[in-house]
């Protein structure tokens, strides 16, 4: 089988409401790029990458001279061809490589008539558990969906549990001052006895704030405290003072950092992201290293539609040491581009796809509809807050949002 064409299509898919985070917001929609790798046998493999627009489309177009005529099964060859680690100092193609790896694994699975998890060693579980992943949210254009007050956080956690069956709950913080977010996190935990919890302020606290917050949640049933401070040394200093695991998706996102963390441990749980690490296979490799050195692993979400979610499910299916629920933004989406619409949660879990390849197919009408949406709306600055134009978030941050500010942004839809 040989690669004959590569297509990249930016899409904009609506979220239920704008999601607030430490560096800005998802402005009520996800912009993603759907990648299709065509072959001489008529099979098409699917990939997905965050962001979109002319730059993303041009980046994939520019790789055609490298990849056309190549065998999609030669994945290690492809890694060195387009993302050689020293050449990548100049071109930073890791996320592009990831999208292409997804598509090539999808092609191999289709060709061989097996799901991707069989190529990766076989599934150990039929479904992957997920955490509820709560965000502070602005209201949508109709005034619905706001999560700002402590009561709204609790109500949202209870509603998500009732709807999807989650038993682990993640609150994304770093938006308001730590004392306010502590109140929200504790209230959520107290409203859901027996469940487990994790908090992630995206590394915007000082080491001292991280230690202060951590010491005030030690009595709760925490899965872990995620990236309370940015940097390995800050994490190491916080870890010395806290009686709970620390997790990261920011300071260990590659093998060099993983080696450093093994030699001088700063983080207990590595959140593996199929995009950040350059594909599903590098995540499996990293999980093996974590297993050897008895570090924990979980599955990170960088915002996904169904294709990337499928990569997370196949990854989650094959990892023996996946002892935590995975993260996904997925339940915030209003729709998807895959056939059949949004995948369903049952008892907080999503079934691992069993069809050939990634086990998902494109709904061409939806792809066209959401590509039109992208052309109409364009991109948006993910690292800006629509209600605070010109705001610059610091690390450590001190420029918090005001929890009493109930205004709602007007964002084109």
Q: How far apart are CA 307 and CA 29, in angstroms?
A: 17
**How is residue 273 annotated by DSSP?**
-
Whether residue 239 contacts residue 280, with contact meaning beta carbons closer than 8 Å, is answered with no
CB of 102 vs Mg ion, minimal distance in Å: 21
Q: With CB under 5 A as the contact rule, which of the stretches 91-99, 226-234, 273-281, 367-375 interacts with Mg ion?
A: 226-234
- The residue ranges of DSSP E strands in 273-353, in sequence order, are 296-299, 349-351
From the candidates 300, 329, 332, 366, give the one annotated as an active-site residue. Answer: 300
CB of 35 vs Mg ion, minimal distance in Å: 24
Q: Examine residue 23 and tell whether it contacts Mg ion (CB under 5 A).
A: no
**What number of chain residues touch Mg ion (CB under 5 A)?**
3
CB of 197 vs Mg ion, minimal distance in Å: 14
Q: How far apart are CA 224 and CA 214, in angstroms?
A: 10
Q: With CB under 5 A as the contact rule, which of the stretches 14-22, 118-126, 158-166, 242-250 interacts with Mg ion?
A: 242-250
Q: With CB under 5 A as the contact rule, which of the stretches 128-136, 220-228, 234-242, 311-319 interacts with Mg ion?
A: 220-228
Does the annotation count 300 as an active-site position?
yes
Q: How far apart are CA 98 and CA 352, in angstroms?
A: 20
Residues 156-215 that bind Mg ion (CB under 5 A): 200
CB of 174 vs Mg ion, minimal distance in Å: 9
CB of 231 vs Mg ion, minimal distance in Å: 14
Q: With CB under 5 A as the contact rule, which of the stretches 9-17, 83-91, 112-120, 218-226 interacts with Mg ion?
A: 218-226
From residue 364, how far is each of 60, 168, 248, 269 by CA, in Å?
A: 20, 35, 36, 38
Q: Examine residue 95 and tell whether it contacts Mg ion (CB under 5 A).
A: no
Whether residue 192 contacts residue 158, with contact meaning beta carbons closer than 8 Å, is answered with yes
For the chain, give the number of residues: 413
Whole-number CA gyration radius for the chain = 21
Cβ proximity to Mg ion, 200 vs 385, nearer residue: 200
Cβ proximity to Mg ion, 226 vs 363, nearer residue: 226
Cβ proximity to Mg ion, 29 vs 198, nearer residue: 198
Q: Which residues of 67-78 are buried (b: 16+ CB within 10 A; e: fewer)?
A: beeeebeebeeb
Peptide bond into 102 cis (omega under 30): no
Cβ proximity to Mg ion, 116 vs 247, nearer residue: 247
| Of residues 172, 251, 177, the one with CA closest to residue 213 | 177
From residue 296, how far is each of 283, 290, 319 by CA, in Å?
A: 13, 6, 11
Peptide bond into 10 cis (omega under 30): no
Cβ proximity to Mg ion, 181 vs 226, nearer residue: 226
Helices 280-292 and 94-112, packing angle to 10 deg: 100
Cβ proximity to Mg ion, 103 vs 272, nearer residue: 272
CB of 200 vs Mg ion, minimal distance in Å: 4
From the candidates 117, 170, 172, 366, give the one annotated as an active-site residue. Answer: 172
Does the annotation count 169 as an active-site position?
no
Q: Examine residue 249 and tell whether it contacts Mg ion (CB under 5 A).
A: yes
Q: With CB under 5 A as the contact rule, which of the stretches 32-40, 54-62, 223-231, 236-244 interacts with Mg ion?
A: 223-231
- Take residue 233 and report the two structure tokens written for it: 């040394």
Residues with a catalytic annotation lie at 172, 300
- Residues in contact with Mg ion by the rule CB under 5 A: 200, 226, 249
């Amino acid at each position: 089988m040989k690669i004959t064409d590569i297509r990249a299509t930016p899409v904009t898919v609506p979220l239920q409401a704008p999601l607030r985070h430490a560096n800005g917001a998802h402005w009520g929609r996800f912009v993603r790029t759907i990648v299709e790798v065509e072959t001489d046998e008529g099979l098409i493999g699917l990939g997905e990458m965050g962001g979109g627009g002319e730059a993303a489309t041009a980046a994939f177009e520019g790789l055609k001279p490298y990849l056309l005529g190549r065998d999609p099964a030669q994945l290690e060859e492809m890694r060195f061809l387009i993302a050689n680690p020293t050449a990548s100092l100049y071109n930073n193609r890791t996320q592009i490589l990831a999208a292409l790896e997804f598509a090539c694994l999808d092609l191999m699975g289709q060709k061989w008539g097996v799901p991707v998890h069989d190529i990766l060693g076989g599934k150990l579980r039929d479904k992957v558990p997920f955490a509820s992943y709560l965000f502070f949210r602005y209201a949508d254009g109709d005034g619905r969906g706001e999560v700002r007050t402590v009561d709204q956080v609790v109500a949202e956690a209870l509603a998500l549990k009732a709807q999807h069956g989650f038993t682990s709950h993640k609150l994304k913080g770093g938006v308001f001052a730590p004392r306010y977010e502590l109140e929200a996190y504790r209230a959520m935990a107290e409203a859901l006895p027996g469940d487990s919890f994790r908090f992630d302020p995206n590394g915007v606290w000082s080491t001292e704030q991280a230690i202060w917050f951590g010491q005030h949640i030690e009595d709760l049933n925490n899965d872990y405290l995620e990236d309370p401070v940015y940097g390995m040394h800050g994490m190491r200093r916080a870890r010395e003072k806290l009686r709970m695991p620390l997790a990261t998706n920011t300071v260990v996102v590659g093998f060099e950092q993983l080696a450093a963390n093994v030699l001088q441990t700063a983080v207990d749980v590595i959140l593996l992201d199929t995009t950040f690490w350059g594909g599903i296979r590098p995540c499996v490799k990293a999980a093996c290293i974590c297993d050897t050195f008895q570090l924990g692993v979980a599955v990170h979400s960088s915002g996904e539609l169904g294709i990337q979610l499928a990569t997370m499910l196949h990854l989650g299916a094959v990892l023996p040491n996946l002892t935590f629920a995975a993260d996904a933004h997925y339940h915030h989406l209003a729709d998807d581009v895959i056939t059949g619409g949004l995948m369903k949660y049952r008892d907080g879990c999503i079934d691992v796809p069993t069809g050939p390849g990634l086990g998902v197919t494109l709904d061409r009408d939806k792809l066209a509809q959401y590509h039109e949406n992208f052309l109409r709306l364009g991109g948006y600055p993910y690292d800006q807050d629509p209600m605070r134009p010109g705001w610059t978030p610091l690390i450590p941050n001190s420029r918090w949002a005001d929890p009493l500010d109930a205004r709602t942004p007007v964002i084109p839809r």
